Amino acid sequence: MPDLAARVLATAPAPDGIWTEWEMSGRRPDGTDHLMRGVIIFEIDTQEHRARAARFFLEPVDHEQLDADTAVREILAGP
């Protein structure tokens, strides 16, 4: 994805690192839009002052206008 853009929307300290909220957007090779949002938690090496690990919790954004109850019911109902 040559035009991938990533933005950090928020940050907060975590017990052993930093919690960050991200948005990533761009256009896929097939021309469709790409939009993901979620959290990345970085584990920080305090002696080296750098990230030693990261846990990603990112999901594609669902553009349907469903309320949370309806969305959960659809997920639990399955295909």
pLDDT tens column, 1-23:
789 999 999 999 988 899 999 99
Instruction: Give the angle subtended at the CA of 65 by the CAs of 60 and 69, to the nearest 5°.
Output: 90
Q: Provide the residue range defining the domain that includes 64.
A: 5-77
Q: How many domains does the chain have?
A: 1
Amino acid at 72: V
What is the model's pLDDT at position 5? 96
Amino acid at 31: G
What is the model's pLDDT at position 49? 86
pLDDT exceeds cutoff 80 at 66: no
Question: How far lies 58's CA from each of 12, 42, 53, 55, 71, in Å?
Answer: 17, 14, 16, 10, 17
CA–CA distance, 52 with 66 (Å, rounded to integer):
38
pTM score, whole prediction: 0.73
Q: What percent of the chain has pLDDT over 70?
A: 99
pLDDT exceeds cutoff 90 at 41: yes
φ, ψ at 46 (rounded to 5°): -70, -25
